[in-house]
A = this chain, B = another copy of it.
Amino acid sequence: MTMRVLTSELGHHAGEGVSLSGWVHRVRELPAVTFVVLRDRSGLAQLVLREPTRREQVRRLAEETVVTARGAAVANPAAPGGVEVVDPVVDVLGPAQPPPVELWRPALSVSLPTLLDHAAVTLRHPARAAVFRMAAASVAGFRATLDAAGFTEVTTPKIVAAATESGATVFGLDYFGRPAFLAQSPQFYKQMMVGVFERVYETGPVFRAEPHDTARHLASYTSLDAELGFIDDHRDVLVVLRDVVAGMLDWIRTRVADYERALAEPLPDVPAEMPSLHFADAQRLIAEGTGVDPSGEPDLSPAHERWLGEWARREHGSDFVVVTGYPMAKRPFYTHPQPGRPEYSNSFDLLFRGLELVTGGQRLHRYADYLAALAARGESPEPYAGYLEAFRHGMPPHGGFAIGLERWVARLTGASNVREVTLFPRDLQRLSP
């Protein structure tokens, strides 16, 4: 039996007998010839059938039928890849009914509900598949960059006894008769693991019972989390973050052959140092630039994030801009205050093309500081006992960040809704497929 050749390799096999396997992407009948475009994981290839009984056989194949085609590979400059397969014997491996959408069209112009309801089929569209290859390469680039920097991967619990962030957006669970929650982030555990490995990362699902039906929120998303010890402050974290983002882009460029298919604009470049400004300076710039003074607000509005994105593009030629020093009031209790300006924090957001992509910063690391921070918020340390034990027994100055994978891919591809770049999204309405 002939070894299978991938469509991407067909160009090297002109003049040979080959066996291709894949999906019938399209059948086109002309008076004297039938063309079949075959799709496999690597691309498309053209089958040309002139022999009447073979034409008759493929004429009846619904698109998406899975076949093996054995025939002669023949050079033809007009064929995709320069080689086509002439008069192959076509065997059906997996029969198919006609698909609910026309996958052979260059762009899949269907509504978002159709796209998601029929994910098992619509994900097969080459431009859709390229989006998720980019997502996979991004995660791999994240890991590879951190592996090279001495980080260790960890696997932390997704079912927890206490909510990490705010109680409002947490999914409750019946855990063998006890109340429990789905983890909103690996924050506490990655910090604890800094006490073991100094530098850790995790790539995994986090859960938010988001009651808002917006284009940028999901009930579950993939969080790319990193945390590192022995830092001076949050600026050391930003150095790692810069390299991670550059690594994610490198992996897309070098590992996804057809990534440009998924993009609305070119992949960004990451400056050697990302432009960075303090929250207070950002507010002043926004006041000067827009005529509306946001000072006193404890956070940036989405409109102001967009404005800063445009500013960074204009002034620094950068798609990325870091805002540091967010007010303590809106940051979680483990946030490290800014030395000398304790109303501000050593935290940051990274905005990518005007959207918050990453949140991070320096954390508290002394046990006494945790007790004080919880007391100041009127919280008991008791629910946090397992977490606080790490600080009671020696922790280095540390910090970290979390990248929202789907937001990253949405921003890269220009998708207006994060659901478009999630394989099987979960939100207020959607629980299947």
Contact between B192 and A96, CB atoms less than 8 A apart: no
How distant is the Cα of A390 from the Cα of B121 in the complex, in angstroms?
Answer: 6
Stretch among A79-87, A198-206, A339-347, A350-358 lining the B interface: A198-206
Copies per assembly: 2
How far, in Å, is A251 (CB) from chain B's closest CB? Answer: 11
Contact between B157 and A220, CB atoms less than 8 A apart: yes
How distant is the Cα of A424 from the Cα of B143 in the complex, in angstroms?
Answer: 22
What residues of B have a CB within 8 angstroms of the CB of A124 in the complex? 195-196
Contact between B220 and A121, CB atoms less than 8 A apart: no
How distant is the Cα of A199 from the Cα of B178 in the complex, in angstroms?
Answer: 39
Of the four ranges (under 10, 10 to 19, 20 to 34, 35 or more), the interface on chain A belongs to: 35 or more
Contact between B21 and A396, CB atoms less than 8 A apart: yes
Interface mask (A382-416 → B, CB under 8 Å = 1, otherwise 0): 00011101111111110000000100000000000
Contact between A207 and B424, CB atoms less than 8 A apart: no
Contact between B389 and A433, CB atoms less than 8 A apart: yes
Determine whether A152 belongs to the interface, using a CB cutoff of 8 Å to chain B.
Answer: yes
A222-B155, A431-B180 are known contacts. Are A198 and B393 too (CB-CB below 8 A)?
no
Contact between B426 and A150, CB atoms less than 8 A apart: no
Determine whether A219 belongs to the interface, using a CB cutoff of 8 Å to chain B.
Answer: yes
Interface mask (A105-120 → B, CB under 8 Å = 1, otherwise 0): 0000000000001111
Among B118, B120, B153, contact of A387 (Cβ-Cβ < 8 Å): B120
How far, in Å, is A229 (CB) from chain B's closest CB? Answer: 8
Question: Which residues from chain A sit less than 8 Å from chain B, CB to CB?
Answer: 4, 21, 23-24, 40-41, 62, 64-66, 93-100, 117-121, 123-124, 129, 132-133, 135-136, 139-140, 143, 147, 150, 152-162, 171-176, 178, 180, 182, 189, 192-193, 195-199, 204-205, 207, 209, 211, 219-220, 222, 230, 365-368, 385-387, 389-397, 405, 423-424, 426, 428, 431-433
